[in-house]
Amino acid sequence: MKYEQLANEIIRNVGGKENVGGLTHCITRLRFKLKDESKANTDALKNMDGIVTVIQSGGQYQVVIGNHVPEVYADVAAVGGFQVETTEEASGEKMNAFNKFIDIISGVFAPTLGVLAATGMIKGFTALLLTLKVLTATSGTYIILSAIGDCLFYFFPIFLGYTSAKKFGANIFIGMGIGACLVYPSLSALTAGEPLYTLFTGTVIESPVHLTFMGIPVILMTYSSSVIPIILSTFVGSKIEKGFKRITPSVVRTFVVPFCTLLVTVPLALIAIGPVATWAGQLLGAGTLAVYNLSPLAAGVLMGAFWQVFVIFGLHWGFVPIAINNLTVLGSDPVLAGTFGASFAQTGVVLAILLKTKNVKLRALSIPAVISGVFGVTEPAIYGISLPRKKPFILSCIAAAVGGGIIGAMGSKMYMIGGLGVFGIPSFIGADGAGAGLYGALIGITVSFLLGFGMVFFTFKDEPAAGEDPNVRRLEVLVKRESVSSPLKGNIVSLTDIRDEAFSTGALGKGIAIEPSEGKVFSPVDGVVTSLFSSGHAIGITSGGGVDILIHIGQDTVKLKGKHFAPKIKQGDPVRKGDLLVEFDIEAIKAAGYVVTTPVIISNSGSYLDVIETEKKTIAYDDELLTVVV
């Protein structure tokens, strides 16, 4: 596993496996539900290589990783053995109503975002090619690309049935089955022709009835691309499933529970839950549009100004179902459109810092932040650069507000959930092709970028961020050190005095040796036990910073075949500095004819500038033994 070491460190610093009640991820973050957040070592995580920052919000403990979060997520889940979606009851955590809402929304929608954005991008670029007359609507290429772009959104209830079932602790295939029933083609076809009769005649919810179920009228709706009906139906289904589980004998539970659950839930969804949820979605869409129409300019300003703040605290999830619902009900969404300039404003701010700063480290951070910002991923820019310096972050919010106001005033709307950053531009192309809305979006993001860039370029002063020492920042980039403590107590011996040429010649790496006075070996760093010989005489540890340490107890002691050695850990275990690794019997080993002089080697010392040995003649546990210069 590529990120196994980082995964072990993350698990240890969130309080261990037993403190994790749930785990999921979004585009850049690991989202933990911890049973006790006070057990997490937040400062250690924030200072760890490979982690951008840590946010505690919305009932979640969010570890911001960056673009490669899916790979880290997979390794954390594998190392921890986590069932990555758990219910609130399983985690033992009680949340207030708002936090619970955010948690449910993020748990249901987060797993779909990658594919949702990908298919949206394909749909957007297909629309762009049609607008530019590169493709025609009747060409095979256009038809296939349209199928790829529309597939997820058309069958969205099936995908949300899966994620909702996982979130609610239900059988995921039951959730998918409910979603499949809602988009079953034969049911949709029944809406044609003369109805049997009409319900609620003369009201806003007047509904023709084309079929009944056991004499009960079924109001058929179009559920493809819908959001609310499947989430509510799966929630109800999860409760029904739990009820049947309690009363069904275990010997037939595998097929009887799904049989009974689907037989009850699907008719209930089609008769009551689906229609009511659809009307609620239509009401939500109309209400959102009514608020937006009060002042599109003001709505754009507010969404642009506060979007990055929402993202920092994970509150942006509250707008995701509103936007998707608007797309399904209204065909477009003006709400998230106003936020589109925020990533460009942040990118402009960081580009200005990159051009103005003389600080080597800040420049090194800014280059990848600008690149990822162009594609809409701004967490590295926010947490690593602008937010610690406060003023640049505030200026980026101002620039985003101006851009959002322009987007709102020009009536720009998104017609699909597409990509982020530049990949999101085609999302503003509607069925009628490019129009004023697209041009409004282009003007808005351009103004956001230029305004953010200009305000910071002409006001930025090369000052350290909060907590940084201005006198050592440049040196830290050039010289970084990692300390390795002594795993043993005893007298220092030069490696050149070791009889084994593999150690004395430095072939196995730079280091030092210890003549132990006590038969105990303790971990010299925080890290992971990457190797442990079956004989117990040699231990390999990789530190959190990637330093590989080999502790070889005695010479030729492998021949003892484990006799007189008592390992206290096993390979793969995470360890903290000072943890007991091995106990060994010094006198018994000597009596057997072996020396106990123990080399402590940096086995990947060739990857570093230097390995500096201690000048002490005697060493105690936890004394600094070696310094690795990066």
Write out the catalytic residue numbers: 26, 552
DSSP 28-96: SEEEEEES-GGGS-HHHHHTSTT--EEEEETTEEEEE--TTHHHHHHHHHHHHT--S---HHHHT----
Q: Which amino acid is at 585?
A: D
Do the Cβ atoms of 337 and 415 come closer than 8 Å?
A: no
**Which tokens in the block code for residue 580?**
């007991």
- Work out the number of other CB atoms within 10 angstroms of the CB of residue 429: 25
**Which tokens in the block code for residue 280?**
């609620």
Residue with tokens 């220092």: 492
Do the Cβ atoms of 544 and 488 come closer than 8 Å?
A: no
- What ranges make up the beta strands (E) of 292-339? none
Q: Residue 344 is inside which H or E element, if any?
A: helix 342-356
Find all residues with CB under 8 Å of 47, minimum gap 6, and list them.
Answer: none
The CA distance from 576 to 544, in Å, is 10
Q: Residue 542 is inside which H or E element, if any?
A: strand 538-543
**Which tokens in the block code for residue 172?**
């995921």
CA distances from 237 to 22, 244, 245, 260, 452 (A): 21, 10, 12, 10, 49
The CA distance from 31 to 86, in Å, is 12
> HSE of 572 in the Cβ direction (CA atoms, 13 Å)?
4
Q: What is the 3-state secondary structure (H, E, C) of 219-233?
A: CCCCCCCCCHHHHHH
Q: What is the 3-state secondary structure (H, E, C) of 318-382?
A: HHHHHHHHHHHHCCCECCHHHHCCHHHHHHHHHHHHHHHCCCHHHHHHHHHHHHHHHCCCCHHHH
Q: Return the closest-CA partner of residue 126 out of 510, 415, 506.
A: 415
Sheet containing strand 548-552, edge to edge, reads 574-575, 527-532, 538-543, 548-552, 598-602, 510-516, 490-493, 618-619
